[in-house]
Amino acid sequence: MLSEFKLAPSILSADFSDLKGALNICDEGGADWIHVDVMDNQFVPNLTIGPPVVKSLRKNTEKFIDVHMMVINPENLVEPFARAGADNITFHIEATDNPDEVIDLIRGTGKMVGISLKPSTPFSEIKPYLDKVDLVLVMSVEPGFGGQGYIEGSTARIMEIKKYLKDNCLERVQIQVDGGIKLHNANEVISAGGDILVAGSEVFGSENPQKVIKDFYANAKSTVSI
């Protein structure tokens, strides 16, 4: 059996005219977190969700709301997302000149703090901040869109980060992996050290999304790790 992991379905691939339905799917499937992709059409070439939508989600679910900010000047949005009801707020290292300030702002709201890096950003860029965050979001696709293919080199990167965290007594920092996660590669990602898996199109692009969520957990349980 593989180690415990959390599944965070990304509502980016859900029907935006029926977000309550998406929350129900996550409930029925037994998902752990709800992953919310925030895009500003500047940091990434797409435009999605802001604090008012998170506020509505908050009214309709007890689940942990995980906000992934793909925006420049993330410091401006920390307080609004915290007030809207986010439980974790993740920002991108590439999006700010002052990561310490963003981390302190998120920490000040009492929410969990996440730091993310694009596939091409060296891991060394986030090392100075790891002792101040709760999770590292490893992008396994170029941020901006759902439905892309998993970048194979991501598995080695997850292993490298996991080892670094262990060697530096930072095992409390969780690794979240986002992009191209499917039923067929989930176990590879978990074995490499992924603690929280984000899955968008695999869940919401399916005819039976509740079953896909359940299958993620069942597959991991049925796998014997060596």
Residue 193, contacted partner among ligand DX5, Zn ion, none, CB below 5-8 A by kind: none
Catalytic site includes residue 87 = no
DSSP 146-178: SSPPPPTTHHHHHHHHHHHHHHTT-TTSEEEEE
Catalytic site includes residue 27 = no
The residue count for the chain: 226
Q: Which stretch binds ligand DX5 (CB under 6 A): 88-96, 122-130, 139-147, 151-159?
A: 139-147
12 lies in the binding site for ligand DX5 (CB under 6 A): yes
- Number of C-alpha atoms within 13 angstroms, CB side, residue 13? 23
Shortest distance, position 179 Cβ to ligand DX5, whole Å: 5
144 lies in the binding site for ligand DX5 (CB under 6 A): yes
32 lies in the binding site for ligand DX5 (CB under 6 A): no
Q: How many CB atoms lie within 10 A of CB 2?
A: 17
Q: Which stretch binds Zn ion (CB under 5 A): 33-41, 54-62, 118-126, 151-159?
A: 33-41
| Residue of 32, 40, 66, 178 interacting with Zn ion (CB under 5 A) | 178
Locus of tokens 């707020």: 89
Give, as ranges, the residues between 95 and 154 that touch Zn ion (CB under 5 A): none
Contact (CB, 8 A) for 75 and 105:
yes
User: By three-state DSSP, how is residue 209 classified?
Assistant: helix
For the beta sheet containing 64-70, the strands, ordered from the edge strand earlier in sequence to the opposite edge, are: 6-9, 196-199, 174-178, 135-139, 112-117, 88-92, 64-70, 33-39
- C-alpha distances out from residue 57 to 4, 104, 202, 215, Å: 26, 25, 21, 25
24 lies in the binding site for ligand DX5 (CB under 6 A): no
Give, as ranges, the residues between 165 and 194 that touch ligand DX5 (CB under 6 A): 178-181
Cα(39)–Cα(37) distance, rounded to whole angstroms?
6
Shortest distance, position 127 Cβ to ligand DX5, whole Å: 22
148 lies in the binding site for ligand DX5 (CB under 6 A): yes
13 lies in the binding site for ligand DX5 (CB under 6 A): yes
C-beta closer to ligand DX5: residue 131 or 152: 152
What is the set of active-site residues?
37, 178
The footprint of ligand DX5 (CB under 6 A) covers: 10, 12-13, 35, 37, 68, 141, 143-144, 146-148, 178-181, 198-202
